[in-house]
Structure 1
Amino acid sequence: MPLLTLSHVTTYTYRQPVSFGEHRIMVRPRESYDQHLIDATLTIDPEPADIRWLQDVFGNSVAIATFDRRAKQLTFDSKIRLRHEPAELQHVDIEEYARVYPFTYSSEEMPDLLRSIERQHHDPLRRIDEWARRFLNTSGPTDTLGILSDMTKAIRREFTYVARAEKGTQSPIETLERRKGTCRDYAMLMIEAARALGFAARFVSGYVYSPSARERRTGGGNTHAWVRVYLPGSGWVEFDPTNGIVGNRGLIRVAIVRDIYQAVPISGTWSGFPGSFIDMDVAVDVTVDDAVAARPRSVSA
């Protein structure tokens, strides 16, 4: 039950003072049975004229900031204190009817899962479908959790992780062809592959940390991305293809969405002379404290 301290600082730098439009900030971890906020602060410089909080359609916490002054630099500094209670793989308990693939989601759940089953990317030659079906057992019953676990580990084993600071995500086809990508590229490939097999899958944005010296995780220093798949009996289960792991050990959820464009950590506009923008710098640091449970205090942000 580790205690974590998270620091996420994003800085935009300009050649001369510019004015800022509305900014949307999504960096506050979600409260749940397995992650509990103790403290949360968001400091913005220059100080916004107004900041308000809301929950989006998926229940993610979003801050909306507006500004009334110009500046050469804009900084968002998020500090989080959080208690994490990771679940182990053996706690994935799938309903009897869904333990062997294929299965059909129940009539009660299907209406709410449909949009998470729909494909989001064109695949006219069915290349994603073909790749996904390689994980099916052609000589006997196919274990449902086994399909997804094998898919997660195959991406980790067969693809090359390459950090990329530029905005944007490769299409799943591009990732399949290039055999390399970032955590968000891997997540989108696995989501499309899972949906090709009829699973409800969602994109998750958050933070990754190494639970111990023996369990080193790839993807730190920035936000991290992985996948959630709905399995009857256990609900939404985490799969991290970048690290080849199943379960939430080492993963802190911030945003859960249907498609990646809905989970941008910080977005907004600025206006000024053309060419004013110099750079954006992102620094994420997660510190694991002693595994001592703390009593939650008031949360401010």
Structure 2
Amino acid sequence: MTRSAGNSCWIEGRTMRFSIHHATRFDFDQPSGHSIHDVRLTPKPASGQRIVSWRIDGPGKRSEWVDGHGNQVTTFSVAHQHEAVEIVVHGLYEYGGADQWLRYADTPSLPAPFWLRNAGLARHDASFDSLIDGLAERAADPAQRVAVLHELMERIAKRIAYKTGVSTVDTTAVEALARGAGVAQDDAHVFIACCRRLGVPARYVSGYLRNDDPDLHVGRTSHSWAEAWVPGLEWVGFDPANGISPRGDSLRVAVGLDYRDAAPVSGRRIGFGDAKMTVEASIRLVD
């Protein structure tokens, strides 16, 4: 069986290994006396996935904790004067399963209705009604929900062109829909907003997807998609930027109501001036 995204194919039954090098750097206009950076980049492998190796490197004092959404967080605290911070992830993961979508053994930390909250970057309003027209009755039927959400992805693809440089990490679903263009983060927020307006619990996923395949819409950073609640199946992934259900090459690291909850790296500092963030990620097939 194959999965298509453009000319890209997924070969079922073959063990595939992927390498990750992901660097996030902050350069400060003026030295900072203290900065703290929260890193949500510890993977949550699905059935059939295996983490071969994983390392997160960063400066200063390191601590580990779990946030309210069940994400593993690594915090780096630098308590001396500094002009830059760099956080780097090196990893290898592989997949050899045959599931039709990513399945997880972990127990949900929050009940499904929590993910109906109309808040944040995925907030919805009446501007989404034309996008979900005629879907509500079928979406309410668990037996039809997956098919309906695939149809929703198709509608989003027709309304929002994949285009870099037109949005930021603070762009809302309402803004992305009105603009009609965006990247994976925007597509995920619009999909989540539509799901919640239909009464379907949905959440934002931050993770990795190979970016060595020109037929996939993946930037030079980490990737974004969504998960929707389907009774009997629990959380099912949807990648509206690529029109697919994520498979074993998609590695989940964090979930949240929107990007801000699941941001790969977020921080705060004591000091003046601006901070410039640069991100470079390489996720490639190595076998």
The TM-score bracket by the shorter chain reads 0.7 to 0.9
1:275 is matched with 273
1:43 is matched with 57
Structure 2 residue aligned with 1:82, among 60, 85, 93?
93
Contact 1:87 1:247 in 2 (8 A): no
2:255 is matched with 256
Shift of the alpha carbon at 1:66?
1.4
Query: What is the correspondence of 1:96-111 to structure 2 with a 5 Å cutoff?
Result: none
CA distance in 1 between counterparts of 2:277 and 2:129 reads 37
Shift of the alpha carbon at 1:29?
1.2
Correspondence 1:72 to 2:70: no
Instruction: Tell me the alpha carbon deviations over residues 274-301 of structure 1, each in whole angstroms, 9 at most, x when there is no partner.
Output: 3353x211000012121xxxxxxxxxxx
SS at 2:215 equivalent: coil
CA distance in 1 between counterparts of 2:168 and 2:268 reads 15
Q: What residue identity is the alignment partner of 1:58?
A: H
1:181 is matched with 182
Percent of matched pairs sharing the same residue: 22
Per the alignment, do residues 3 and 92 of structure 1 end up closer, same or farther by CA in structure 2, a change over 3 Å counting?
Answer: closer
Contact 2:206 2:224 in 1 (8 A): yes
Unpaired runs of at least 5, structure 1: 94-108, 291-301
Per the alignment, do residues 43 and 34 of structure 1 end up closer, same or farther by CA in structure 2, a change over 3 Å counting?
Answer: same
Q: What residue identity is the alignment partner of 1:131?
A: L
CA distance in 2 between counterparts of 1:284 and 1:263 reads 17
Per the alignment, do residues 113 and 150 of structure 1 end up closer, same or farther by CA in structure 2, a change over 3 Å counting?
Answer: same
SS at 1:131 equivalent: coil
Contact 2:102 2:248 in 1 (8 A): no
Contact 1:25 1:64 in 2 (8 A): yes
Per the alignment, do residues 178 and 276 of structure 1 end up closer, same or farther by CA in structure 2, a change over 3 Å counting?
Answer: closer
CA distance in 1 between counterparts of 2:99 and 2:45 reads 19
CA distance in 2 between counterparts of 1:29 and 1:7 reads 14
Q: What residue identity is the alignment partner of 2:28?
A: Y
Contact 2:211 2:284 in 1 (8 A): no
Contact 1:87 1:248 in 2 (8 A): no
Q: What residue identity is the alignment partner of 1:180?
A: A
Instruction: Tell me the alpha carbon deviations over residues 223-281 of structure 1, each in whole angstroms, 9 at most, x when there is no partner.
Output: 11111011122221110010111232531111012232211111112233x3353x211
2:5 is matched with none
Per the alignment, do residues 286 and 158 of structure 1 end up closer, same or farther by CA in structure 2, a change over 3 Å counting?
Answer: same
Per the alignment, do residues 85 and 152 of structure 1 end up closer, same or farther by CA in structure 2, a change over 3 Å counting?
Answer: farther
- Between the two proteins, the alignment pairs up a number of residues equal to 263
Larger Rg: 1
Instruction: Tell me the alpha carbon deviations over residues 26-72 of structure 1, each in whole angstroms, 9 at most, x when there is no partner.
Output: 1121133243222111222xx31x21111222221100121222222
Shift of the alpha carbon at 1:204?
0.3
Further displaced range: 231-240 or 112-121: 112-121
1:284 is matched with 281
Q: What residue identity is the alignment partner of 1:187?
A: A
CA distance in 2 between counterparts of 1:148 and 1:235 reads 14
CA distance in 1 between counterparts of 2:283 and 2:220 reads 8
Per the alignment, do residues 16 and 84 of structure 1 end up closer, same or farther by CA in structure 2, a change over 3 Å counting?
Answer: same
Unpaired runs of at least 5, structure 2: 1-14
Instruction: Tell me the alpha carbon deviations over residues 184-237 of structure 1, each in whole angstroms, 9 at most, x when there is no partner.
Output: 1111111111111111111101111169x6x82112311111110111222211
Correspondence 1:207 to 2:204: no
Shift of the alpha carbon at 1:9?
0.2
Contact 2:209 2:218 in 1 (8 A): yes
Contact 1:128 1:172 in 2 (8 A): no
Query: What is the correspondence of 1:1-301 to structure 2 with a 5 Å cutoff?
Result: 1-44=15-58, 47-48=59-60, 50-85=61-96, 89=100, 112-120=111-119, 123=124, 126-135=126-135, 143-164=144-165, 167-209=168-210, 216-272=215-271, 274-275=272-273, 277=275, 279-290=276-287
Per the alignment, do residues 83 and 225 of structure 1 end up closer, same or farther by CA in structure 2, a change over 3 Å counting?
Answer: same
